[in-house]
Amino acid sequence: MAKATLNAKRILLVHAHPDDESLFTGHLIAERLAAGAEVLLLTLTRGERGRVKLDEIKSLEGRLESMGHFRSNELLNALKEYGPGVKHKFAGTRAYLDSGMRVNLFGRAAKPRDLDEMSLTAAGSQVIADDILAELKSFKPDAVVTYNAKGGYGHPDHVVAHRATASALRQYARARRGRAPQFWVIAEPGERAEVSVGNAETAKIKRAALEAHASQVSISREGYSLVEGKETRFDAPERFRRTNPNPLVMLSPLVTIFWAIPLGVLMGLAGTLMHQVRAQNSEHTPIGLIVALISVGALALALRLLRSSRGALYLTSITFGITVFTLAQRQAGGEVLIPSNDVGTIWAYGSIILCAVIILFPQIRPAIWRKSASGHQ
Are 72 and 123 within one domain?
A: yes
Number of domains in the chain: 2
| Per-residue pLDDT reduced to its tens digit, 171-216 | 999 888 778 899 999 998 888 899 999 999 999 999 999 999 999 9
Q: Give a yes or no: residue 377 inside a domain.
A: no
Percent of the chain with pLDDT over 90: 51
pLDDT at residue 4, rounded to an integer: 66
Are 205 and 287 within one domain?
A: no
For the cut 80, the answer to whether the pLDDT of residue 50 exceeds it is: yes
Q: How far is CA 234 from CA 7, 17, 217, in A?
A: 22, 20, 12
Q: What is the mean pLDDT of the chain?
A: 85
| Per-residue pLDDT reduced to its tens digit, 294-310 | 999 999 998 888 765 67
Are 196 and 341 within one domain?
A: no
pLDDT at residue 244, rounded to an integer: 84
Are 77 and 226 within one domain?
A: yes
The three-state DSSP-derived secondary structure of the chain is CCCCCCCCCEEEEEECCCCHHHHHHHHHHHHHHHCCCEEEEEECCCCCCCCCCCHHHHHHCCCHHHHHHHHHHHHHHHHHHHCCCEEEEECCCCCCECCCCEECCCCCEECCCCCCCCEHHHHCHHHHHHHHHHHHHHHCCCEEEECCCCCCCCCHHHHHHHHHHHHHHHHHHHHCCCCCCEEEEECCCCCCCCEEECCHHHHHHHHHHHHCCCCCCEECCCEEEEECCEEEECCCCEEEEEECCCHHHHHHHHHHHHHHHHHHHHHHHHHHHHCCCCCCCCCCCCHHHHHHHHHHHHHHHHHHHHCCCCHHHHHHHHHHHHHHHHHCCCCCCCCCCCCCCHHHHHHHHHHHHHHHHHHHCCCCCCHHHCCCCCCCC
Assign 141 a pLDDT band (cuts: 50, 70, 90): very high
For the cut 70, the answer to whether the pLDDT of residue 370 exceeds it is: no
Are 261 and 219 within one domain?
A: no
Higher pLDDT, 319 or 176: 319
pLDDT at residue 279, rounded to an integer: 66
Q: 245, 263, 296 — which closes off a domain?
A: 245
Q: Give a yes or no: residue 373 inside a domain.
A: no
pLDDT at residue 186, rounded to an integer: 95
Are 124 and 221 within one domain?
A: yes
pLDDT at residue 369, rounded to an integer: 33
Are 37 and 175 within one domain?
A: yes
| Per-residue pLDDT reduced to its tens digit, 116-137 | 788 888 887 888 999 999 999 9
Specify the length of the chain in residues.
377
Residue type, 115: L
Q: Give a yes or no: residue 22 inside a domain.
A: yes
Q: Give a yes or no: residue 169 inside a domain.
A: yes
Q: Average pLDDT of 245-272?
A: 80
Are 290 and 349 within one domain?
A: yes
Domain of 49, CATH number, reads 3.40.50.10320
For the cut 60, the answer to whether the pLDDT of residue 250 exceeds it is: no
Q: Give a yes or no: residue 368 inside a domain.
A: no
Are 241 and 105 within one domain?
A: yes
Q: Give a yes or no: residue 365 inside a domain.
A: no
169: exposed, middle or buried (Cβ count in 10 Å: 0-12, 13-18, 19+): buried
pLDDT at residue 251, rounded to an integer: 54
* Closest alpha carbon to 172 in 233, 230, 131: 131
Q: Give a yes or no: residue 44 inside a domain.
A: yes
Residue range(s) defining the domain that contains residue 330 = 251-360
CA dist 128 and 195 (Å) reads: 28
Are 173 and 30 within one domain?
A: yes
For the cut 80, the answer to whether the pLDDT of residue 245 exceeds it is: yes
For the cut 50, the answer to whether the pLDDT of residue 234 exceeds it is: yes
* Closest alpha carbon to 348 in 322, 313, 324: 324
Q: 193, 214, 245 — which closes off a domain?
A: 245
Are 196 and 258 within one domain?
A: no
Q: 198, 221, 245 — which closes off a domain?
A: 245
pLDDT at residue 281, rounded to an integer: 62
Q: Give a yes or no: residue 186 inside a domain.
A: yes
Are 69 and 154 within one domain?
A: yes
Do residues 182 and 241 lie in contact, with contact meaning Cβ atoms separated by under 8 Å? no
